[in-house]
């Protein structure tokens, strides 16, 4: 929908970049991942999935009932403008 951010202001892109950085950093070494490292990647992935679900819900709400934006300043409303 034009005029809306696809991520609704949520840090989805940053989380995906963090996940990518974690995975790439671990690919460059020979040692197996530790439990803590696996937990960190899994936690980031769960956050990504949660944000994607929220974004899908918000998108659905916007499709059903788009918000009415009335771009009128408080000053013009007080001045009696016919908006």
pLDDT of 8-18, one tens digit each? 566 888 999 99
Q: What are the structural domain ranges in the chain?
A: 12-78
Distance CA 20, CA 18 (A): 5
- For residue 82, pLDDT beyond 90: no
CA distance 79 to 53: 43
Q: Mean pLDDT for the chain?
A: 77
Neighbouring C-beta atoms of residue 44, cutoff 10 Å: 19
Q: Are 12 and 49 in contact (CB under 8 A)?
A: no
Q: Is the whole-model pTM more than 0.75?
A: no
């Amino acid at each position: 929908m034009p005029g809306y951010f696809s991520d609704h202001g949520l840090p989805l892109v940053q989380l995906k970049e963090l996940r990518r950085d974690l995975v790439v950093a671990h690919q460059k070494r020979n040692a197996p991942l530790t439990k803590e490292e696996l937990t960190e990647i899994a936690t980031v992935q769960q956050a990504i999935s949660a944000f994607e679900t929220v974004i899908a819900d918000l998108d659905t709400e916007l499709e059903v009932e788009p918000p009415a934006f009335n771009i009128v300043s408080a000053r013009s409303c007080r001045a009696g403008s016919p908006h």
